[in-house]
Structure 1
């Protein structure tokens, strides 16, 4: 793989344009050229890492541009879908969107970092996208909290969400009922709503959006116009937000 990536760059730097067609070389010329390239790389091994780094930088830039286009094209569904929970400061100058799953260990770690961020910065708008991709327990939890939100609003959703983000046991109906009782919620009504088409539609729309954005894992964040895949610590989130505010 490295040879296919690095050899053309070395050829371009070392040979005139007319000599770059390796297919036009004789067998002897190819052997000489190969020996020269090998000798150069043995004497200058750092060139390999420089070429790999340059390639990675190009790929990262291309990915960032592709993500920017995706976010722009799907901005309405990302930032204003009409059903996802909106917290933090709804009028904040920076918006963070998170695609999350209640069984995702990195989502649970990110939860603590996000809470720390919101406590320190009161000008961040936060949107939660329920994206259950890690099995039946994930789906059960999402259906339950979405049903609670549809029945009793954000005031019911957020405590359940927070509790599940710090919950380490199996997610069962029994466990969810205990959580509902803790917050004075009517679990019977919530359970009756869980399989409603309106709940299914929310999950389906978020999954369709994730597919359009090429989101395949959790947590995945959208911060203003940028997509960030994977866990981010508090300090890194703060730095990204401050950079966005300078734009």
Structure 2
């Protein structure tokens, strides 16, 4: 089991009857599975699409610990070619968080999600106003006019995805942000690079031993 000051990596869902049964009860009500969470076709992804370990990251653009986690996730992708990362925009802190999530997801329609995501994560502090977030998005190089047009055209789909992300987080028993699925493991709060790297190694070893694990 891995620990650091701000997070505890829990037992694998597949091998923890108490945790698994609790998840199943919540997920059944939401009609979702671990596989559907990790493979939502509308969720932006990065890294190796055929990676042997999937990290699912539930994040909010106004969360300082989410922002602190961004370099960790980038570092994992840069140093481990076997990782697939799934972004779950989970705006739970403020109206501006919802604004940022909707803008980032709209950018995905022009292939600019990661640029916009990175720009929003680089904004210092918390409770950033929408104007500051829009300036960051404009500086990312994304086509802001097209982004706003796509937001109008695909707004209902984007809002459904955000609601789905939040429902998935609730079904997993996550409270607040950031939170992660690392293969079949759940992790709460900020995770530093070494802890994340170790968690990926544990998930990889478990998946190799139990191919049915997430």
- TM tier, smaller: 0.7 to 0.9
Q: Which runs of 4+ in 1 moved over 6 A?
A: 60-63
1:186 CA drift (Å): 2.7
2:136 to 168, 171, 179: 179
Return closer, same or farther for 1:62/1:113 CA change in 2, 3 Å cut-off: closer
Query: Is residue 190 of structure 1 aligned with residue 147 of structure 2?
Result: yes
Query: Is residue 152 of structure 1 aligned with residue 110 of structure 2?
Result: yes
Q: What are the Cα deviations for residues 103-126 of structure 1, in whole angstroms up to 9, with x where unaligned?
A: 111111111112122222111110
Query: Is residue 113 of structure 1 aligned with residue 69 of structure 2?
Result: no
Query: Is residue 135 of structure 1 aligned with residue 94 of structure 2?
Result: yes
- Separation in 1, partners of 2:58, 2:191: 13
Structure having the larger proportion of residues in helix: 1
Partner of residue 123, structure 2: 167
Matches within 5 A, 1:1-247: 65-69=17-21, 70=23, 74-149=33-108, 151-153=109-111, 156-168=112-124, 171-194=128-151, 196-247=155-206
1:172 CA drift (Å): 4.1
Return closer, same or farther for 1:129/1:67 CA change in 2, 3 Å cut-off: farther
- Structure 1: which 5+ runs fail to align? 1-59
- Structure 2: which 5+ runs fail to align? 1-9, 207-214
Return closer, same or farther for 1:246/1:173 CA change in 2, 3 Å cut-off: closer
Q: What are the Cα deviations for residues 168-215 of structure 1, in whole angstroms up to 9, with x where unaligned?
A: 266444434433433443323322443621111111111121221122
Larger radius of gyration: 1
- Separation in 2, partners of 1:206, 1:61: 22
RMSD, matched Cα: 2.5
Q: Is contact 2:42-2:161 (8 Å) kept?
A: yes
- Separation in 1, partners of 2:45, 2:191: 20
Partner of residue 4, structure 2: none
- Separation in 1, partners of 2:204, 2:57: 19
- Separation in 2, partners of 1:184, 1:223: 31
Partner of residue 23, structure 1: none
Greater relative contact order (CA < 8 Å, ≥ 6 in sequence): 2
Q: Is contact 2:11-2:186 (8 Å) kept?
A: no
Aligned length: 185
- Separation in 2, partners of 1:168, 1:62: 34
Single out whichever of 230-239 and 171-180 deviates more from structure 2: 171-180
